[in-house]
Structure 1
Amino acid sequence: MTAVDVIREAAGDGFVAPRLGLVLGSGLGGLADAVQDATAIPYKDLPGFPVGSVAGHAGRLVLGTLEGTPVVVLQGRAHLYEGIPVSDLAVPVRTVRALGAESIVLTNAAGSLNPEAGPGSLMALTDHINLMGANPLTGPNDDALGPRFVPLGDAYDLELRAGLRAAAEGEDVELHEGVYLAVSGPSFETPAEIRAFKTLGADAVGMSTVPEVIVARHCGLRVAAVSAITNLAEGMGTEKLSHEHTLQNAAVAAEKLQRVLRRFVEAQA
């Protein structure tokens, strides 16, 4: 059985194809609890799904309805730095597509290279820089899933981003915009690396999301992404960085992000 088979069987006669997928990053998983008529399945029970072990990631798929819109929520994700093959990171996103979704919204916790976007703020992604040293499409291509060579000039959908801006304005939440730079981790960056990343044009830095964006575009999903800013990047502030610190500040941003996403999802109904 595939993951899609397991999900459909678990949902039974109540299965409704999701219109939208949501990926909830570090400390941001609370929105999954608002899904109605929910079918929740741990990743460990879904064939092919990579199972992460990082605090702040529940590791389950939730299918149901949010603000009147059929959704599939990935509550937490696995990461390259956990030793998981980058090709395995493709499975959850392809499952979202196979279930019927047309769009996906990715969230993450990230460090800011923009002093105006401090801890607790939100940043919609306009583009990315992949410095992870890995691409989930490496290896033989399955033409049934998508093309061998995927253009990424329009990776972050303008219409979906406009929807996020409108939702943020409706909730009176400031939504910054910027370029996300992805590194493999798990170590935090050095001050010299951050200075180099700023020169490259990055506004935020993190250890996820980019593989999912690549896979999503490969299989035809429209993409939007939001970073919950948890800290100023190394060398830009006085706080000592840690994952505990990341989760604490993610909680500050999570309340705003949940309000914005709920309004955004409602507009998709």
Structure 2
Amino acid sequence: METYQQLQEAAAYLQPFVTNSPKVAVVLGSGLGNFVQEIVVEKEIAYSDIPHFPVSTVEGHSGKLIIGSVAGKPILAMSGRFHFYEGYSATQVVFPIRVMKLLGIQTLLLSNAAGGVNANFKVGDLMIINDHISFATINPLLGRNDNRMGPRFPDMSEPYKKSLIQKAVEIGQENNILLHQGVYFGVTGPTFETRAEYKLIHILGADAVGMSTVQEVIAAVHMGMDVFAMSVITDLGIREEENVITHEEVLEAANAAEPLFSTVFRELIRSL
């Protein structure tokens, strides 16, 4: 069965539950699942119940689609996302993003836990992604293009919507939240980077590095969605001492930063 038909079947299954016509969707990354407490939940649907959906296998990703509202605005939320390193194809990784577009979503808000390669960053800092480098990931648009989803050669000059970035900056100022801006470097994982890799990524112009988001953004832009993304800096790759990183530490740092992250996302949704 072709991908577009699978997308239509998944959307058709979800459509009866999506009665509030949401225009905004949120994808919650590692350790950021507690944002669901901000959501007035109408319905939760396990990924395993949705036709053709992959199922999340990573700790910190719960694996359900949430229909509800935040700050009075109807939204869809993915509590748990899919990663290339789990063994999924790039097409499977972006499958939910495409389904959400078919359900009427226009604005996509993405979050992730990322490693800092900017020497000015500290663990727990928030970074608005204003651009990315995707060369180290598999492009989800490889293969035959389906014009029903988007053009063969999508423009990526503004993958992250500048107007959404500006709104987030203003929210940060109003709430006294330090928000960095920077470039996100996408890698496949699942290994954390070596010292030499961190150094190279820094030289190439990135401020943070992570194992998600980039493929989702490419698929969203391909389908004409507006994208905003923010990283919680959960570990630092550029530092002098011995640099051992564990997934537990990443989740801990993400949890600590969550109240600030939640404020930015909640107020951004309110502004839309």
Equivalent residues of 2:114, 2:233 under 8 A apart? yes
2:44 is equivalent to residue 40 of structure 1 = yes
Match of 1:222 in 2: 226
Please say if 1:57 is aligned against 2:64: no
Q: Pick the aligned partner of 2:183 from 171, 176, 179.
A: 179
2-structure distance, mates of 1:140, 1:236: 46
- Contact residue 26 and residue 78 of structure 2 kept, 8 A: yes
- The answer as to 2:74 corresponding to 1:70 is yes
Q: 1:127 to 1:26 in 2, by over 3 A?
A: same
Deviation string, structure 1 residues 204-225 (Cα, Å, up to 9, x no partner): 0000000000000000100110
CA contact (8 A) 2:127 2:232 kept: yes
1:86 equivalent in alignment to 2:90: yes
* Cα distance in 2, alignment partners of residues 30 and 197 from structure 1: 30
Q: Which residue of structure 1 aligns with residue 249 of structure 2? A: 245
Distance 1:87 1:51 in 2: 14
In 2, Cα distance between equivalents of 1:152 and 1:108: 20
Compute the displacement of 1:133 (Å): 3.6
Q: How far off is 1:259 after superposition?
A: 1.1
User: Does 2:218 align with 1:211?
Assistant: no
Q: Percent identity?
A: 38
Q: Secondary structure at the match of 1:97?
A: helix
State which of 11, 17, 29 in structure 2 corresponds to 1:10: 17
Contact preservation (8 Å) 1:145, 1:219: yes
AA matched with 2:78: L
> What SS does the corresponding residue of 1:131 show, helix, strand or coil?
coil
Asked if 1:188 corresponds to 2:195, the answer is: no
Q: Which runs of 5+ in 2 are unaligned?
A: 1-7
State the SS of the aligned residue for 2:94: helix
Select the residue among 85, 97, 101 that pairs with 2:101: 97
Unaligned runs of 5+ in 1: none
Instruction: Find the counterpart in structure 1 of residue 139 from structure 2.
Output: 135
User: Is the CA contact (8 Å cut-off) linking 1:167 and 1:261 kept in structure 2?
Assistant: no
Cα offset for 1:155? 0.6
Which position in structure 1 is the counterpart of 2:172?
168
The residue number in structure 1 matching 2:259 is 255
Q: Which deviates the most, 204-213 or 167-176?
A: 167-176
Helix, strand or coil at the partner of 1:186: coil
Instruction: Tell me how far apart the structure 1 counterparts of residues 74 and 28 of structure 2 sit (CA, whole Å).
Output: 16
CA RMSD of aligned residues (A): 1.4
List 4+ stretches of structure 1 deviating above 2 A: 8-11, 234-239
- Confirm or deny: 8 A CA contact 1:64 1:72 kept in the other structure: yes
Structure 2 counterpart of 1:45, one-letter code? D
Aligned length: 265
Q: Quick one: distance in 2 between partners of 1:41 and 1:26?
A: 19
**2:152 equivalent to 1:148:** yes
